[in-house]
Amino acid sequence: MTSKSSLTDTVLENKPGHPQTENGRVLVVKNVSKTYRTGTEALGSTNLTLEKGEFVTLVGPSGCGKSTLLRLIAGLITPTEGTIETHAFENKRGNIGFVFQDAHLLPWRTAQRNVELLLEVAGTPITERQRLARETLEQLGLQGFENAYPRELSGGMKMRVSLARTLVLRPELFLMDEPFAAVDEITRHTLNEDFLKLQRNYGFTTLFVTHSVSEAVFMSTRVIVMSRRPGLIIKEIPVPYGGERKPELRTSAEFAETCRIVSRFLLEGA
């Protein structure tokens, strides 16, 4: 169990309805490639489909186009070739959430006011956004820290605020670009376990990027290995451990074996 054992219950009470999207598909990336204006071929022709509720992780050498692929899916940049479909989502407030390596909190706003920020932009009435932000901070184990400023929080807590700021929008799809790379290993493990609980309870779908093979295997239903730039998917490795991942999994022989397989393909792709 993690130190945030109350997390699941709190979240369950607030579980919203998430009807199946068409065919259960949340995202379809078809023959997508990206060459930047500078002429850099960042991503080779890529196909990827995400089913609702999956947790898929991209691993690959630095510069192979992982962040590029996430930015393409988020619509921050356009593909050179190919198409990206994100399927009709029920929730209008925020369909795709993007979480970066740095928490990117506004230093002059408290934790609570950082989480309210995007609701403010969306025009959510003040009492509603205050309630939603408070609830979401509580779900991330930050009750009592609503009025703390980012400088008064640890790195792990800042990342929790950053997650809360995205979760408060109830995204159907979470795009996460090395979100836990800047925290120590023990904090990262707790964040991993807590995030998986949130995913189970809310039923959202996650596309994750990490350089840590063990984090990829612990979190994912599938690990996708990419080759060096221009990145191509060279292997998809299903991870057979079911929904609930106990901390003990990290030290098991089967876990080490899956990590070994992922590492082998990573080496091949590099």
Ligand X SMILES: Nc1ncnc2c1ncn2[C@@H]1O[C@H](COP(=O)(O)OP(=O)(O)OP(=O)(O)O)[C@@H](O)[C@H]1O
- Give me the residues that bind Mg ion (CB under 5 A), please: 67
Least separation, in Å, of the C-beta of 177 and Mg ion? 6
Least separation, in Å, of the C-beta of 34 and Mg ion? 13
- By beta-carbon proximity to ligand X, the closer residue of 156 and 269 is 269
Least separation, in Å, of the C-beta of 209 and ligand X? 7
Spatial CA neighbour of 135 closest among 169, 90, 94, 176: 169
**Three-point CA angle 52, 57, 58, nearest 5°:** 125
Q: What is the largest CA-CA distance in the chain?
A: 54
* Residue 170 contact among ligand X, Mg ion, none, beta carbon within 5 to 8 Å by kind: none
Least separation, in Å, of the C-beta of 66 and Mg ion? 5
- By beta-carbon proximity to ligand X, the closer residue of 27 and 42 is 42
- By beta-carbon proximity to ligand X, the closer residue of 256 and 270 is 270
* Residue 78 contact among ligand X, Mg ion, none, beta carbon within 5 to 8 Å by kind: none
* Residue 62 contact among Mg ion, ligand X, none, beta carbon within 5 to 8 Å by kind: ligand X
* Residue 221 contact among ligand X, Mg ion, none, beta carbon within 5 to 8 Å by kind: none
- Residue 74 CA to residue 173 CA, distance in Å, equals 10
Enumerate residues 6+ apart whose C-beta is below 8 A from 13.
none
Classify strands 205-209 and 173-177 as parallel, antiparallel or unpaired. parallel
Residues that bind ligand X (CB under 6 A): 36, 38, 40, 42, 62-68, 229
- By beta-carbon proximity to Mg ion, the closer residue of 67 and 114 is 67
- Residue 44 CA to residue 64 CA, distance in Å, equals 9
- For 65, the 3-state DSSP assignment is coil
* Residue 10 contact among ligand X, Mg ion, none, beta carbon within 5 to 8 Å by kind: none
* Residue 36 contact among Mg ion, ligand X, none, beta carbon within 5 to 8 Å by kind: ligand X
- By beta-carbon proximity to ligand X, the closer residue of 97 and 231 is 231
- By beta-carbon proximity to ligand X, the closer residue of 64 and 225 is 64
- By beta-carbon proximity to ligand X, the closer residue of 36 and 270 is 36
**Three-point CA angle 244, 141, 133, nearest 5°:** 110
Residue whose tokens read 């992982």: 66
* Residue 127 contact among ligand X, Mg ion, none, beta carbon within 5 to 8 Å by kind: none
Cα 53 to the chain's mean position, in Å? 12
Least separation, in Å, of the C-beta of 38 and ligand X? 4
- Residue 149 CA to residue 110 CA, distance in Å, equals 4
Least separation, in Å, of the C-beta of 241 and ligand X? 25
**Angstrom distances, CA of residue 72 to CA of 30, 138, 164:** 12, 32, 23
Instruction: Judge whether 236 and 205 are in contact, CB under 8 Å.
Output: no
Least separation, in Å, of the C-beta of 50 and ligand X? 18
Spatial CA neighbour of 210 closest among 234, 186, 183, 232: 183
